[in-house]
Structure 1
């Protein structure tokens, strides 16, 4: 996934850290093997190469992530879209070589014709998804969160009940520390901003953050964040610096953080409030400076 993972846990007797580390790594390797656009033989890449009209059998985990992504796409009216592979490549955020110049209007329009979550059909009974033709799946806004959940589920099945696992800044905590205190984590905020550092206890909860400082490119003297608006085919320009979402599922937290980033401070906070999502949106612009907006659900956790 192009990042690191870490784990703090309470080991039961007879269990070695080497065995636990190998199990976590195997879970994350499985996500890469199924869902990486950088791996030519991954299940995701296999789907993207499939001819139009073909039903492509997918592993259960990959199909679950696709179904979750489509459900969140539906709920956000397309602010999250797992079919943006062509646009991701076009803007230089995927495995394809970055273009030397800013994409033209015609290039963006062409890439948009190879996107669209509503074009996908899933046959759960056959464990397959139909490639409508030219669709390029991209799970970069959800797969890392799923990796956290998959590793956490393996830990629990292995008898590890108390742990904090982190993959590239996405975290999930279960149980408590040996002294009985919860797994306290700081809510990530953009570097260089004078914001109050907030902490939250992850007890059966996960937190995921999307930020314009994590991945970006510089074009014509402007920083282009890696977050693309599926509705326009362009990087977002709404001033959102970061979004953090707290949720029992790190998969959902990851995808919702991406969606709220695209929706922006106004629509994003209204959506989080309506769905009772625990979220904080950090916005910055030259006129008004920087501010944080907390959803009612997150305010209740911090009080």
Structure 2
């Protein structure tokens, strides 16, 4: 996943680290754009319009991504892999210049849950980088719980899930990273059976022609977002859903993002410049 992970656990048995690593390795083997023989890469190399059966974990993430895509009216788009490659954020590596504008062909991803099969439109390439890391956190967390490890804080590349409590009886307290351009004080969050994910436009990008381009794409324009959002943080029981929704809300802009978060009962905080926009569910957690 191009990042590292950490685990703080109460009385973990031998093999806990290996169990977490195995869960993350499974996600990479199935859903990585950078692994040539991953299930995702082989699907993207296959013929457009052809159905492909995929493993259960892969199917679970695709279904969740498409659910968020529908709920966000396409702000989350799992089929924009060709765009991320063209802009230098995929397996081909960085680019030095802004790519030419191109027509937006069919980026449809179809999923049949009954048979765990997917197919893609002519212009679609599956890209789950906006949700798969969060799922990796969940998969590893479920392994820990299944093996009797009830109290832990698991972090993968800045996405976190906290279960149970610390040995001193406190919840797992974490600080939300604020954009370097913001003077807003970071939030401190108690992760007690809860996950948090942050999407930040300042984390990955490149500069060309005196302008900075982020790695977050607006599916409607096929270009990096330019809506003033610096970061979006979402709290959710499942880290996968927090991750995917943070990606979607980043695309929408502050006002539309909070409106959608309120519609779906999401605890979300959007930072744009030196201003915070928080949803009703986020505000309720302050009480």
> Under TM normalisation by the shorter chain, which class is it?
over 0.9
Q: CA RMSD in A?
A: 1.3
TM-score, scaled relative to structure 1: 0.92
Q: How does 1:134-153 map to 2 (within 5 A)?
A: 134-153=123-142
Distance of 1:4 and 1:302 partners within structure 2: 31
Structure 1 residues 210 and 269: alpha-carbon distance in aligned structure 2, compared to 1, 3 A threshold: same
Secondary structure of the 2:77 match is coil
Segments of structure 2 that go 5 or more residues without pairing to the other structure are none
CA contact (8 A) 2:96 2:208 kept: no
Q: How does 1:197-276 map to 2 (within 5 A)?
A: 197-276=186-265
Segments of structure 1 that go 5 or more residues without pairing to the other structure are 285-289
Distance of 2:113 and 2:125 partners within structure 1: 20
Count how many residue pairs are aligned between Structure 1 and Structure 2.
287
CA contact (8 A) 1:120 1:132 kept: yes
1:293 alignment partner, one of 272, 277, 280: 277
Q: How does 1:56-67 map to 2 (within 5 A)?
A: 56-67=52-63
Distance of 1:188 and 1:71 partners within structure 2: 27
TM-score, scaled relative to structure 2: 0.97
The superposition leaves residues 238-275 of structure 1 with CA deviations (integer Å, 9 ceiling, x where unpaired) of 00000000000110100100111000001011111111
Distance of 1:228 and 1:162 partners within structure 2: 37
Structure 1 residues 86 and 114: alpha-carbon distance in aligned structure 2, compared to 1, 3 A threshold: farther
CA contact (8 A) 1:216 1:226 kept: yes
User: Greater CA deviation, 50-59 or 240-249?
Assistant: 50-59
Secondary structure of the 1:302 match is coil
Per-residue deviation, 1:134: 4.4
Please name the residue that 2:40 is paired with.
Answer: 44
Distance of 1:52 and 1:120 partners within structure 2: 10
Q: How does 1:37-186 map to 2 (within 5 A)?
A: 37-105=33-101, 107=102, 109=103, 112-115=104-107, 119-186=108-175
Distance of 1:143 and 1:190 partners within structure 2: 23
Distance of 1:125 and 1:197 partners within structure 2: 44
Distance of 2:187 and 2:166 partners within structure 1: 20
- Tell me which stretches of 4 or more aligned residues in structure 1 moved more than 6 Å: none
Please name the residue that 1:9 is paired with.
Answer: 9
Per-residue deviation, 1:114: 5.0
Please name the residue that 1:287 is paired with.
Answer: none
Structure 1 residues 97 and 2: alpha-carbon distance in aligned structure 2, compared to 1, 3 A threshold: closer
CA contact (8 A) 1:86 1:114 kept: no
